[in-house]
Structure 1
Amino acid sequence: MKSQLFASFATALALTGVFVSSAEAAGFKFTTNYTAELTGANQSKGNIWLNSVEFDGQTFSDFSIAKDVKIVSNDLWTHGNTGGASADKGDKATVGLRQEKLTEAGAVTALGNLNLNSIIDTEDKGSFVMDVMLDKAADNLFIWERGFNSRMDVQALDAQGKLIGNLINLDSSQWFSAGYSIDTLEIKGSQEVASLGLSLRDFGLSANDSIFGYRVISKGAAYNGPDWKIVGTASVPEPTAVIGLGLVAGSLVASGRRQKSK
């Protein structure tokens, strides 16, 4: 785990425009709770709705999704398996789109929903840089990658869309199973999905910071075409969890009062 001193140091570097790569394994495991609209052999082809995620013993369901995308660079698609990033969706999915020659509006359509079968697909040798702004600030990012076989770089953005914190280099072969598979228009057959969460601390940011967006990078064949979906959430658990914590706190206060009155 990073110390508070390191986080403060990394934040200071970010403010001066100097960015550092993560020097240690980043990320955390979380559970994906979802509802698949289709069943049986078609489950991986239809809409797969994200309901909530669980980590650190808490459940979160209030998500931040893409509201704006800036394509900084993207290999040109001409035909077949050329180009960099494109939009992709499940064979029978009704939310999302397939768009080979990706536009910024198309990227928003692919990422600005909670259908886990609506993704950004990258050709195996493709390169791109994409900045995604969220519809509300987040403390954590949740990443899903189809195939368990790709690399990607991720960095946080502030409210003005400027890069902050560490540039994190990720390899999905070291991630965790998300518990579902998807079969999209770009591929033949279903593939298992990997998942990983990134916190403020992973980016070298402090608890006073917020993630307003993120940059994703793929660098050609060495990255093997990441196929991904990212959403964010603030560190506020579902109301039931908050109520539970309140009841515990209330019990402790009441117990303390009883002890004082003895």
Structure 2
Amino acid sequence: MQEAPILDGMPDFHDTLEFLRLRDRRSRADVATAARISTSHLDKIVGNRITPGRNSFDKLTHAFDLDLDQRQHLQELWQPSRGLPHAEELRQRLTSHGVQADLDDLDARDVLAVYFDPFRTVLHGNRIFRRTVPGLAEADNNFSLWMFSPAARDCIDNWESEIPYTVAILRGTLGRYRDHPRARSLFRKLRATPEFPRLWDTTPMQVAYECRRLAPINLHAPWTNQPRSLSLAIGEYGESPDVLIAYGVFDTLAIAC
């Protein structure tokens, strides 16, 4: 049986199907039988890169052992790639909605707050956010790129456990927007970093979606030189479907104990 391929490129529906089959050491005939479709149909889907209809897609999805995030990822790869406005357009929308007053209020309450697009390009952030992520401008104001920078490695105590989670989030995001020029540009820049290619290539089906985050981030706060634990809540910004907002609350005792 052929070895499962390394999925080192942008997420792709057909490549992922073939990876899942070879990962499980199954023949196409076996997968087709489990999915209750013909082997010739599966050959056309994978070999000729034909997009299956909804009925065949649902059957194929259930032919593999996938968790909820993996099922969502495969469905998004099956669907057409999504579009996304430019970051500057999203920034202007937020400015017109008056988000700066909310950011200033959260600053006064010691709450980190940041608005970002699905690629984690920062659109607006309060002062607490900016001082928590030193060197963000050198990473194109993109939090995903910043996570693979020396600044992030110095700042985040549990960096080694955070970057696999970052890669898992990126897999879902890049899959959803895989044909977008900004997605492809971000992927090229990430592959030029020392750590991203190793993690991307060795965790082919580890995918996560941002709003389900539970674990805190452990930081060396640059402005106090004290360890702090940052708990994040991430959700969609109601006024714009292309914007996410994250709120962060610090808890020093969580690390001190």
TM-score bin (small chain): under 0.3
Q: Which has the higher helix share?
A: 2
Q: TM-score, normalised by structure 2?
A: 0.27
Structure holding more strand per residue: 1
Which structure would you say has the larger RCO, counting Cα contacts within 8 Å and 6 or more residues apart?
Answer: 1
